[in-house]
Chains A and B, each alone.
Chain A
């Protein structure tokens, strides 16, 4: 009697354990338990509300046209977040079928063999020449950025650069004319800034100019500055860093002076902000936003949007007359995708909406000051590790008042080490 009962108990124990383990299964199940023929395409991109809405509409259209295909769009919090998720997913052999990533990662992803060249048959052509003719001109213009050994890997969905944006309302309030008095040089910014800045009880409550606290955007802005002064973050052959040149020091010193000498800028106290304070009317001038910022403001800060005016990126007196470096995003299909045809079809629909993207500011509009800014900017090709090193040096100088030359020397050492360990060549460098 006892033995039987305890055997039964043992059985119960095993079953109970099994239930608990399987219970986890019941509460969440796998995907794809649906209709036999149904395909799911995973599409990953980074967060940008107007673009997401546009793409959601296009995806709905696509799903209608292809009833056996479902699209699962995943929006990462930010581009670095997307980068992390892509790396990990591909490493596990379970990457998305289609993703939309920026150009700075192109070389790295190529070196890991993530992507497929564009499938010409999906576009009904037999050569890249013909493809160029068929694509919307913005996409075609961007093709060379995504070229490697004669093949093209990406359909451009965004090419832009940053420029300076001012709040015309603030300018008028200060007795300035937004059409003529916008700051063309850093020196002018300091002058104009003194009239724009508002303080209360010894604190700056409205900044004339705001420093970005986002390592990626800061590095691009800094790169623009250092290039205007004739140097660069990385040497032309991509082997070593030249950030600790006089140009680098001058660039950092300029930013430092805005905070502590001219007192028109406050030390940032929040992380990861791009265009900080502009949308709440707490900043008069920013220079880390692109043409897409207009659509963003209209959506999220309609009271400030009418006062937005883009002006050429702030230059240095006697420096080169060039804009901020360009960056771009493109749709790329993964080499390990099981549904390459459908993915390229989806990519095609998404990419063909170039005109809508231009309206959203994802492609640079043909109005002043954009054409000159984007054409003189050159490419921003900085990997994340470099962003972090540059930003670290800058925060030490601007937040902690350390000596710029020393900090940049330390940054150079770190960057050189990083570059020497890099298994691939930074794209664009010979």
Chain B
């Protein structure tokens, strides 16, 4: 598409202005995380810290227990992602490559879970988890989140595109059904698994409401809970420390995103355009 220099400049200008709007708050978070407390409260905007106060990070990691929160978030996110990938693939495979009575109903039923707001099930879910004795345990954090309708839908859509020839050939070769799943379907679904994995990990890492309800003790808090605790403290909030906590909570996902950009985008778009 041929464009005049003027048009090109105009476009770039718009792009840059928008970029500034998107970048500045994130930059502000990073910058403030290195400031001394006084500098977070000045009237004149200080875009950069006077010097890099790394002690903000050591304080939040140690004294404010973010080390513990970080590892909890990691444990939960990894477990939830593994469980979701495995079961969603199983279910998606069953729904896409097989035919059995009730399959339609089951599919609609699973899809309908995406329409129901979490607020509807939050109280009964809490009661079930309480009954099972899972309050304030890893189980309680991981298992209720171990599968989503979206995950099943996503894997089904993808596995549907796997050519049946592979599956039939494997059957003729005498490979057991589960073996087919493990050795043919899963490897062929790697792109979908990667995308779903990233999205699921992100969702679990950022989740606030459920951990807020389930977790009772400091030892089990996840990063969003740690941030909430500081934010809701009654006396002054030390914004520099809070910002370093926010950085710790965000940096891993930003890094993952920068590395796996394609996976993210695929995950979002495969997720539903044809929907």
Contacts and interface: CB of A to CB of B under 8 A. Distances in A.
Contact of B41 (A5, A72, A282): A282
A28 B143 CA distance: 12
Contacts of B41: 280, 282
Interface residues of B, number: 37
Interface in A15-42: 16-17, 20-21, 23-25, 27-30
A2 B235 contact: no
Contacts of B82: 20
A279 B235 contact: yes
Nearest to B225: A77
Interface string B203-246: 00000000000001110000000001100111111000000000
B146 interface: yes
Interface in A198-214: 200-201, 203, 205, 214
Interface string A239-277: 000000000000000000000000000000011111111
Contact of A30 (B75, B137, B146): B137
Contact of A78 (B142, B179, B234, B236): B234
B176 to A, nearest CB: 4
Given A77-B229, A282-B41, A20 B236 contact: no
B177 to A, nearest CB: 4
A113 interface: no
Interface in A81-115: 81, 85, 89, 92, 94
Contacts, number: 102
A6 B233 contact: no
B178 interface: yes
B178 A13 contact: yes
Interface in B30-74: 37-38, 41, 43
A12 interface: yes
B51 to A, nearest CB: 19
A52 B75 CA distance: 29
A78 B235 CA distance: 11
B184 to A, nearest CB: 13
Contacts of A272: 232-234
A74 B218 contact: yes
Interface residues of A, number: 50
A30 B133 contact: yes
Nearest to A297: B235
Given A1-B174, A24-B146, A272-B232, 5 more contacts: A8-B176, A24-B143, A27-B79, A27-B139, A74-B218
A28 B142 CA distance: 10
A5 B232 contact: no
Interface string A267-307: 00011111111011010000000000000100011000000
A75 interface: yes
A94 B135 contact: yes
A388 to B, nearest CB: 15
B138 A24 contact: yes
A31 to B, nearest CB: 9
B232 A277 contact: no
Nearest to A300: B235
Contacts of A92: 130, 135
B162 interface: no
Given A270-B237, A280-B236, A25 B139 contact: yes
A291 B228 CA distance: 27
A68 interface: no
A74 B216 contact: yes
A99 to B, nearest CB: 13
